[in-house]
Chain A
Amino acid sequence: MTSYVLRRLGVSLLILLGASFLVYQLVALSGDPLQEFRESTRPNKEALMAQRTALLNLDVPAPVRYFLWLGGAVKCVIPGQCDLGVTLQGQPVTQALGSAIPSTLQLVAAATVLAIVVGIAIGIVTALRQYSALDYGVTFLTFLFFSLPVFWVAVLLKEFGAIRFNDFLADPSVPITTVVVVGLVSGLVWALIIGGDLRRRLITFAVAAVAAGGVLWYLGATQWFRYPGLGPALVAVTGVGIAIGLSALIAGSQNRRALYASLVTVALALVAMFALRPLLDRATFPLILLLGVLAVGAGVLVGYLFGGYDRRQSMRVAGLTSFLVAGLVMLDRFMIAWPSYFTQVRGRPIATIGSETPGLGGDFWVSGLDKYTHLVLPTLALMLISLASYTRYSRASMLEVMGQDYVRTARAKGLPERVVVVRHAFRNALIPLATIVAYDIGGLLGGAVITENVFSFKGMGALFINGLSHQDPNPVMGTFLVVGITAVVFNLLADLAYSALDPRVRVKA
């Protein structure tokens, strides 16, 4: 095993060297670093050209210049000695990377996690309803999103998700046509998802349409969009829904202890919602993190105390329920801060550029809202276009597993369908996805160059494109190095994880 890993690392190093050489040459060939001076009529342009030539060593041919760069870059193996050169503005590249990486992670992490969770969920559901209208509809939509160019999606999202939505918020009354349309669409979607015979579909359609339309109308009529909130009642109802749903899915509806455990955590969360209110008003990020851990801990504890023949199942259900309900409580607290945030940004809350409103004063909740309103559109854009591959892979993988003999055996011995799907099929269907997720994380740091550019995010992508457009090789190479190393490392991890997850492909060493 060790020799395999070492061999892989050795090969990766050579690949990195070769690739970095190629990239360096391509950047050097991409244009003329002195162009901005050549068209200038300034009397001192020759001096400026000489300064730039000295800064970038332009008098050295590019293939040789690469080794000058490499000389600094190899020092990165010694901590604190890293020398990746400076940008044209004289900022060390290591420093520029240091601020770009967190910014990129902020942008891409949420989108990636959401795309994975939603994509897998959609994939499983469509696999279970193979060749149904739902399957075809979802396939059509995901491929539609997949094939849309991101800069165009971004422009549309900004126009409708930000500009028009903000216009709507200025006078948040929902016209009756919107109510009807949203109701009909919601009815259609739910009827497709739940399925069944015609009668059942019609009932689902009617209920969902009336519910969605009614809720929307009510929210519009009560100015909810201007002064949103959940209140204890909605938190309680949703919490109970989560508790019932999760225990049915994970533990099965016959496992009453799991259900009771999760219901108790919902009750506890409601108590905490009131008890913690003064504390939450002065919240900081570490406090929220701590409360989140405590919530999960409390849930697990409740599950443990309820015990029963399968204690771990109760603990899992209760812990997860507790986490989600704590999320609801947080959401409610954010909504309380909304009107104050709304006035601070002059009534235009959803942002189209950047990662924060400069100069915004406010507590944890207001600045948190500011982060969300800036992240929501780019996250949505990135998620929509990367959803397709996850739904496809998980659908295919699920279908393959569902057709295997052991699934038939499981059914034959009388297991409920839920157990067959969740416990026997789903877990094995996830194994091939591990590889894809690892690859994606490798690409994650590279940033979404176009998305960052369109949304004016200053991450790795911006660093890369900015360097490239000014023929500034050092930041481009810095970005390449980070991305290349992550890609190589995560590919290796993917292979190792695969062999750990699936004994059939374990390397014999």
Chain B
Amino acid sequence: MKIRRASLAVALFATGALVLSACANTPQDEPDGGSSASAGAGGGTLTVAETNQFSSFNPNTSNGNVDINSKITTYPTRAWFNYVDGSSFAAGDPKVQKDESFGTYEVVSEDPFSVKYTVNEGVTWSDGEPVDADDLVFAWAVQSGHYNSESGDVTYFDYAGDSTTLGLTDFPEIGEDGRSITLNYSAPAADWEVAFAAEAPAHVVAKKAGLADGQALLDLLEAQADVAPTATADNAELRAVADFWNTGYDSTVLPSDPELYLSSGPYIVSDVVENQSVTLVPNEKYTGDLKAQLDTIIMRTIPDATAAVQALGNGEVDVISPQSSADTLTALKALDGVTLHQGDQLAYDHIDLTFNNGGPFDPATYGGDAAKAQKVREAFLKTIPRQQILDAIITPQKDDAQILNSQLFVPAQASYEDSVAANGSADYPGEPDVEGAKQLLAEAGVTSPTVRVLYNVNNPNRVNAYTLIAASATQAGFVIDDQGDAAWGSRLSDGTYDAAIFGWINSGIGVAGVPQIFSTTGGGNYNGYSNSKVDELAAKLVVTLDTDQQAQIQEEIDPLIFADAYGLPLFQSVGLDAVGDRVSGIDDYNPNQAGVWWNVWEWTVND
């Protein structure tokens, strides 16, 4: 029995060895890279990881207004007169670059302000239809909000962008060549250069809305231009146009009708895998200068930061832009062959004091004694340990992080240094001044005022900041009432708090955000701040065309806000992207909504 078993084992082993020697697939001729790799100059495939899922070929409606939709649609597939230079943020001078291979624009006159846009001859959509006046006028129609009735009864285009700038214009003059339009503004508009942007092809919108062609749409828009602002009922044809534009482009898969994803830019969408990926290939009909250099760009949706880092490590994706955190950073630094780009986001955290709620910072509490309220505000701001907050939240992610010392500028901007030197932020250094605060409270004759502090209890950074502020302010004699709330956002404008810690997210370029926050009537003025000088300057700012003058006006506003003890900026959030070494063309962190996509035509891979 034993012998039998042993011999069986030997036999099995022998057969095993024999069999194994016969089993391997002999290396055949090495398959030549399959279909994806291409040997020619340039070419190749680049895969970019993004957080959100692609859902619409129209990123400008309120449904489609998700960053990924504009990353896919706007940058690779829409040529335009200009684009925001994503590398200019790192250089401290956010600006737009012109693309004169698409067309040109010039300020025809400064007063009255008017701009002429001309598309070059021979610029076409990917179906061969030229890009011309009907496309420009349709873009204007959507972005100006001109066709929505003034009474608010009739709304056509569900446009998610800002129409205040183009709202200052009338129906454009169409040039003789049929490729140019002139926009006449009723007042100068500071943000004119970025207000007018590419839109969906007019001839497709016209066709899908039952009109004959782009010209028919142009005629309809012209005919309705005068009556629409005062209309009380829908125009059926325009309603059809708007309805198609509002929802017709929403699709989580590749539409069966190629007209829904036409391109005038260097790339065109060739495939969409629902919720997972979008594939872009070069647009054969593109004739401009911003030529596609890759064979394929693939966007893959990866919501989880750790998953994105590991996918990068595994070579499945080449570019990731995860949410920055100390853990993500450590994981990324451990990877070989990856370049990290860190930068400041356009978002910054700040603490604001409430001026109009009968609380400790409101003059009304002290019988209208503004000086007394001012002292209490100053005392509170003096206790805020900004350096400690920075060290706790930002320094672990970015070694050279600095406290933000201006409400209007960020350190990368040239004006930041000048403004900080004179804006009064020196009164509030990073370290808290508890003694000074006590003294100010004593001068004001106020003892242990209660301060209700509102913050987002679900955001660990805000909780951290709150804890540090509360500890420091308590030392100075303030009584801190913890109003941390998950529904903090809905409470912002109701005055049930005396100080709020939250973040602003800037749109990146342009100055329209300033009156939003600091004007008495601004939509983002939650704390009842009112200073007639600031109102006046802010109103002047948005009609100033010259960027140097804009900076100068902002430098005037900045110290006024500090002098009023409005609140304090805390820090800028850290932004991050990581790029595999086979990729070139992505050199800086771009904080605006385009992310890495702003120069998609410059991307190349070298294998």
Contact = CB atoms under 8 A, between A and B. Distances in A.
A234 B17 CA distance: 10
Interface in B135-173: 158, 160-164
A211 B16 contact: yes
Contacts of A51: 62, 158, 160
Instruction: Please indicate which of the listed interface residues A31, A162, A359 has the most CB atoms of chain B within 10 Å of its own CB.
Output: A359
In this complex, which of B502, B503, B504, B516 has the most chain A Cβ atoms within 10 angstroms of its Cβ?
Answer: B516
Contact of A42 (B301, B306, B507): B507
A335 B25 contact: yes
A203 B504 CA distance: 72
A257 B55 CA distance: 61
Contact of B310 (A45, A46, A88, A163): A163
Given A44-B162, A89-B63, A359-B296, A234 B512 contact: no
Given A230-B23, A343-B34, A237 B161 contact: no
Interface in B271-330: 271, 273-277, 279, 296, 298, 300-304, 306-307, 310-311, 313-317
Contacts of B158: 51
A68 interface: no
A398 B35 CA distance: 54
B307 A353 contact: yes
Nearest to B27: A227
Given A91-B252, A348-B315, A207 B489 contact: no
Contacts of B314: 158, 162-163, 166, 348, 350-352
B41 interface: no
A443 interface: no
A368 interface: no
Interface string A28-45: 001110110011111111
Interface in B7-51: 9, 13, 15-20, 22-28, 30-31, 33-37, 45, 47
Interface string A143-164: 0000000010001001100110
Interface string A79-96: 000000000111100011
B486 A31 contact: yes
Interface residues on chain B, size class: 35 or more
A18 interface: no
B25 A229 contact: yes
A42 B513 contact: yes
Interface in A327-363: 335-336, 338-340, 343-344, 346, 348, 350-362
B264 interface: no
A324 interface: no
B604 interface: no
A5 interface: no
A330 B6 CA distance: 33
B273 A223 contact: no
Contacts of B34: 340, 343-344, 361-362
A222 B22 CA distance: 11
Contacts of A159: 310
A462 B18 CA distance: 49
A137 interface: no
Nearest to A87: B55
A178 to B, nearest CB: 18
Given A99-B274, A358-B276, A41 B62 contact: no
B577 interface: no
A343 B20 contact: no
B502 to A, nearest CB: 6
A35 B301 CA distance: 23
Nearest to B502: A39
Nearest to A341: B34
Interface string A354-383: 111111111000000000000000000000
B24 A223 contact: yes
B25 A48 contact: no
A466 B53 CA distance: 10
A354 B317 CA distance: 11
B66 interface: yes
A340 B23 contact: no
A163 B9 contact: no
B230 to A, nearest CB: 20
A354 B33 CA distance: 23
A34 B490 CA distance: 8
Contact of B306 (A44, A91, A237, A454): A454
A226 B31 CA distance: 13
Contacts of A88: 63
B523 interface: yes
A359 B486 contact: no
A31 B458 contact: yes
A351 B458 contact: no
A43 B162 contact: yes
Nearest to B163: A44
Give the most central of A52, A348, A458, A466: most B CB within 10 Å.
A458
B64 interface: yes
Contacts of A236: 19
A38 B492 contact: yes
B517 A41 contact: yes
A228 B25 contact: yes
A207 to B, nearest CB: 5
Nearest to A88: B63
B506 interface: yes
B487 interface: yes
Interface string A453-474: 1111010001000100000000
A90 B63 contact: yes
A339 B524 CA distance: 59
A218 interface: yes
B275 A462 contact: yes
Contacts of B6: 203
Contacts of A35: 489
Nearest to B158: A51
A90 to B, nearest CB: 4
B362 interface: no
A147 to B, nearest CB: 21
A46 B316 CA distance: 41
A8 to B, nearest CB: 36
B489 A34 contact: yes
A305 interface: no
Contacts of B421: none
B56 interface: yes
B25 A336 contact: yes
Given A89-B55, A354-B277, 19 more contacts: A39-B503, A42-B162, A42-B516, A43-B512, A44-B163, A45-B524, A166-B315, A203-B5, A224-B24, A228-B24, A344-B31, A351-B314, A352-B311, A359-B271, A359-B298, A454-B304, A454-B306, A456-B302, A462-B275
Interface of A: 30-32, 34-35, 38-46, 48, 51-52, 55, 88-91, 95-96, 99, 151, 155, 158-159, 162-163, 166, 203, 207, 210-211, 214-215, 218-219, 222-224, 226-234, 236-237, 335-336, 338-340, 343-344, 346, 348, 350-362, 453-456, 458, 462, 466
25 contacts: A30-B486, A41-B517, A42-B512, A43-B513, A44-B164, A89-B66, A90-B247, A159-B310, A218-B17, A218-B20, A224-B23, A233-B22, A234-B23, A338-B25, A340-B34, A353-B302, A353-B310, A353-B311, A358-B298, A358-B300, A359-B271, A359-B277, A453-B307, A454-B307, A466-B53
6 tightest A-B contacts by CB? A41-B513, A229-B25, A90-B63, A458-B275, A89-B55, A358-B277
